[in-house]
Amino acid sequence: MLIISQLIGIRIRRALEEFVSECTTLSESSIALLDPQLVPATKPEFGDFQVNCALTLAKPLRKPPREIALAIVEKIKHDEQFLELCEVPLIAGPGFINITVKPKCLISELEHRLRDKRLGVPPIDSDRSDKQLSRVVVDFSSPNIAKEMHVGHLRSTIIGDCLARVLEFRGHTVLRLNHVGDWGTQFGMLITHLKQVAPLALKKPDAVDLGDLVDFYREAKQRFDTDITFQALSREEVVKLQSGDEISLKAWSLLCEQSRREFQNIYQRLDIRLTERGESFYNPYLQSVVDGLERSGLLVVDDGAKCVFLEGLVGKDGKALPVIVQKRDGGFNYATTDLAAIRYRFTAIPQGDGACRVIYVTDVGQSNHFFGVFQVAKRAGWIPSDGSLEHVPFGLVQGEDGKKLKTRSGDTVRLRDLLDEAIGRAEKDLRRRLREEGRQEDSAFISNVSSTVGLASVKYADLSQNRITNYQFSFDRMLSLQGNTAPYLLYALVRISGIYRKGGDTDLALSKVEFSEPQEWVLLRELLKFDDVIVLVEKELLPNRLCNYLFELSQVFNRFYDQVPVLKAEEPHRVSRLALCRLTADTLKLGMTLLGIPTLERM
C-alpha cells in the first residue's frame, strides 16, 4: 500500500501543518515538528496505519497529547481527499491516531494488482530522483581460482544474488561482479609447487583434476609457511606473473580455465548469473592507485612498504593502522586491488563502470579491511559525492555444535556436496511421503521436486536469517516441512495450484468482488504489504525481511484455505476468493523469484 500510505501521509501532514501554525509561529525548529510519524499499525486491531506525532508534540506545544490528536482528527475528518481513502480516524491510548483504510479502496487495490505484473512495486524510473542511482555494482560470491567452492562461499553467493534480483526488479542496471581470487601470492605458491611436483599441470589443460589441485594448493601453502627458500621462490614467481612472464601466464590461465568450469557448474545449479571479473582485471590500474595516493599526499613509506595511515583506528602501539598498497618487495596486495576496483567502478563509462552504488557482499570478518579501504578511497576523492559504497556483511556458517561448519573428518564442506546432500534428503522425504500416501509419480517428477525443494531449502534457510548474525546450518531444520522454511512456502503455492486444477477460473469477473469473512480481509491486507517490503529490502539490503513477509503471507493464506471454502462457495464469494488465491500465488511466485527460488505446481 505504498501509494495509499503516501497519500495518507500528505493529508495528515497538511492537517498537522495547519494545527501547528495555529498554535505557534513556524520557526526553523518547528519545521521538525511536522513529521506525522505515520507508520503501519503495530496490531491489526489498531487498523492499517497509526500516527504517533501527537505524543512527540506534547512537550513543545505544551498541550496534552490526546488534545493534539483530537485537533488533528478534527481537521482531517473534514478532508474529502482523506475520506475517500480512509474511515474517520480513532484516537487510542495516550494519543495514538489509528487509521483504517476503506474496504472499497482495498478492493480496488486488489483489482489493480491482478492486472499489474509488478504487483504494485513501482519501478525507479517513475521517480526521477532515483534515476541517477540506476547503475549498481553488486560484488558477490568471489571464490578463489584453483580452489573448490566451499561452504564459505554459500552466503555471499545466495545473498548477493538475491540483492541483485531485487535491485534489478526495481529497475536498476545491476553489474553482478564475481571478483574471483585469480591473482596474488597464492598463485606464486601454487605455480612454484606445481613446477616441482606436477609440471604437466601447467602445460596441458586438465592434466590433473580440481580435487588434486586443491591438495597441491594445500601442500604449497604449508611449504610457504615453513620453508623460507620456497617463500622466496614463490614471491619471485608472483613478480614474474605480474610482469607478464609468458610461461607463468600460460600456467595461470590453465588453472583459471579449469576452476571456472567448476564454478559455472555450481552457478548453473543455483540459477545464478555472474560476470567474472577477477582481481587480475585491475592489474593495469594498480600502479596508478599508488601514484594517485602519492599525488594526493596520503602515501607514507613505512618500513619499506607504501601505505596510508588511517584516521580513527589505532593499533597496539598507539600508532595509526596502515593500509598497505605496495609491499616492501614491490608487489601489490589486495588493498591495492580493492582500491583500483572502487576507482574503476565509480569512473564514468567507458573508462569505468559508471556505478553510483557499489555493494560488497562478504563476511563480517572483512569489516576492518573495508573500513580502511573505503576510508582511503574517500580521502583520495575517488567516490563521487552522490556515490554510495556499502559493505554488506554477513556472519559465519556454523554447524549445529555452534562452531564453524566442517565435515565429520574436519575438512571444509564442499558446496557441491552440501547441495547434493540437501537434494538427497529432500528426495528421501518425498519418497517416504509418496509411499505413505500411496501416490505414484514418475522419476522425472521425483527428481525435479527433490532438486527444487533441496536447493530452495538451502537458499531459503540462509536468506531467512538476518544476515549479520552467525548462521547455524541444519539440514533437518531447513528441510523441515513446518515452520519458516522453503517447503512450507512451496506448499502454500501447491495448494493454490490444486484449486486451479480442480476447476478454478482464471479469468475473473472482477466487478463482483465482495468479501464476507474476516480471513479474507486479513489475507487481502497481507497481500497489499508486498510493495512496501520490496522497497524496504532494496533500501536495507536485508533479504530476511522478504522471507518473513512471505512466511507470514503463507501462514495467513493457510488459515484462509483451512477455514474458507473457495470452489464450493456461492457467487460472488467464489470469484472473490479465487481473486485472492490468484494474487497470493502471484505474490508468492514473484517473492520467491526475487529470492532466487523457483516454485512448483505439485510436490
Partner RNA sequence: GGGGCUGUAGCUCAGUUGGAUAGAGCGACGGUUUCCUAAACCGUAGGUCGUGGGUUCGAGUCCCGCCAGCCCCGCCA
- Rank residues 299 and 603 by Cβ distance to RNA and give the closer one: 603
6 binds RNA (CB under 7 A): no
- How far apart, in Å, are the Cα atoms of 345 and each of 177, 242, 285, 508? 11, 22, 12, 48
Closest CA relative to residue 591, chosen from 522, 544, 555, 558? 544
Length of the chain: 603
Cell of 505: 477460473
Taking contact as CB under 7 A, which single stretch among the options 72-80, 103-111, 258-266, 478-486 is the one that binds RNA?
478-486
- Rank residues 224 and 382 by Cβ distance to RNA and give the closer one: 224
261 binds RNA (CB under 7 A): no
Give the count of alpha carbons within 13 A of 491, CB side only. 16
375 binds RNA (CB under 7 A): no
- For residue 497, the minimal CB distance to RNA (Å) is 7
Torsion of CA 431, 435, 437, 438, to 10 degrees: 120
- Rank residues 475 and 488 by Cβ distance to RNA and give the closer one: 488
Taking contact as CB under 7 A, which single stretch among the options 130-138, 167-175, 349-357, 392-400 is the one that binds RNA?
392-400
- Rank residues 153 and 165 by Cβ distance to RNA and give the closer one: 153
- Rank residues 263 and 488 by Cβ distance to RNA and give the closer one: 488
The residues in 262-291 that bind RNA, with binding defined as CB under 7 A, are 279
The residues in 425-464 that bind RNA, with binding defined as CB under 7 A, are 429-430, 433, 437, 449, 453
**Distance from C-alpha of 473 to C-alpha of 453, rounded to nearest angstrom:** 16
- For residue 204, the minimal CB distance to RNA (Å) is 27
The residues in 333-352 that bind RNA, with binding defined as CB under 7 A, are 333-335, 337
544 binds RNA (CB under 7 A): yes
Judged by CB under 7 A, how many residues of this single chain contact RNA?
110
The cell 512496501 sits on which residue? 532
- Would you list the DSSP string of 353-379? ---SEEEEEEEGGGHHHHHHHHHHHHH
Among 78, 104, 378, 602, binds RNA (CB under 7 A): 602
185 binds RNA (CB under 7 A): yes
- Rank residues 143 and 171 by Cβ distance to RNA and give the closer one: 143
- Would you list the DSSP string of 91-113? EETTTEEEE-B-HHHHHHHHHHH
- For residue 38, the minimal CB distance to RNA (Å) is 6
Closest CA relative to residue 357, chosen from 543, 164, 221? 164
- For residue 71, the minimal CB distance to RNA (Å) is 17
525 binds RNA (CB under 7 A): no
562 binds RNA (CB under 7 A): yes
Closest CA relative to residue 602, chosen from 498, 458, 451? 498
**Distance from C-alpha of 8 to C-alpha of 89, rounded to nearest angstrom:** 11
32 binds RNA (CB under 7 A): no
**Distance from C-alpha of 399 to C-alpha of 481, rounded to nearest angstrom:** 21
Which residues lie closer than 8 Å to 262 by C-beta, 6 or more apart? 148, 149, 210
Angle, alpha carbons 229-234-236 (nearest 5°): 100
Helical spans, DSSP H, in 404-517: 415-437, 443-463, 475-478, 486-501
- How far apart, in Å, are the Cα atoms of 22 and each of 18, 19, 30, 45, 68? 6, 5, 12, 32, 12
- For residue 281, the minimal CB distance to RNA (Å) is 12
- Rank residues 183 and 285 by Cβ distance to RNA and give the closer one: 183
Among 202, 310, 588, 603, binds RNA (CB under 7 A): 603
- Rank residues 227 and 329 by Cβ distance to RNA and give the closer one: 329
Cell of 1: 500500500
Closest CA relative to residue 216, chosen from 197, 188, 239, 233? 197
Among 41, 83, 210, 522, binds RNA (CB under 7 A): 41
CB-based burial label for 32 (10 Å; 0-12, 13-18, 19+): exposed
Among 260, 269, 369, 525, binds RNA (CB under 7 A): 369
For residue 89, say if its preceding peptide bond is cis, omega within 30 degrees of 0.
no
The residues in 85-104 that bind RNA, with binding defined as CB under 7 A, are 92-94, 96, 98
Taking contact as CB under 7 A, which single stretch among the options 80-88, 165-173, 353-361, 390-398 is the one that binds RNA?
390-398
Among 268, 367, 407, 447, binds RNA (CB under 7 A): 367
Taking contact as CB under 7 A, which single stretch among the options 54-62, 147-155, 343-351, 382-390 is the one that binds RNA?
54-62
Among 1, 38, 101, 158, binds RNA (CB under 7 A): 38
Sign, Cα dihedral of 379, 382, 383, 389:
negative
The residues in 197-236 that bind RNA, with binding defined as CB under 7 A, are none
- For residue 80, the minimal CB distance to RNA (Å) is 24
**Distance from C-alpha of 146 to C-alpha of 296, rounded to nearest angstrom:** 37
- For residue 400, the minimal CB distance to RNA (Å) is 8
The cell 471454502 sits on which residue? 565
Among 364, 508, 510, 522, binds RNA (CB under 7 A): 364
- For residue 17, the minimal CB distance to RNA (Å) is 17
- For residue 324, the minimal CB distance to RNA (Å) is 5
- For residue 553, the minimal CB distance to RNA (Å) is 11
The residues in 299-318 that bind RNA, with binding defined as CB under 7 A, are 302-305, 307, 313-317
**Distance from C-alpha of 30 to C-alpha of 245, rounded to nearest angstrom:** 68
Among 347, 412, 448, 480, binds RNA (CB under 7 A): 480
The residues in 117-136 that bind RNA, with binding defined as CB under 7 A, are none
Q: Using an 8 Å Cβ cutoff, are 51 and 89 in contact?
A: yes
**Distance from C-alpha of 382 to C-alpha of 346, rounded to nearest angstrom:** 7
Among 67, 375, 548, 572, binds RNA (CB under 7 A): 548
- Rank residues 134 and 280 by Cβ distance to RNA and give the closer one: 280
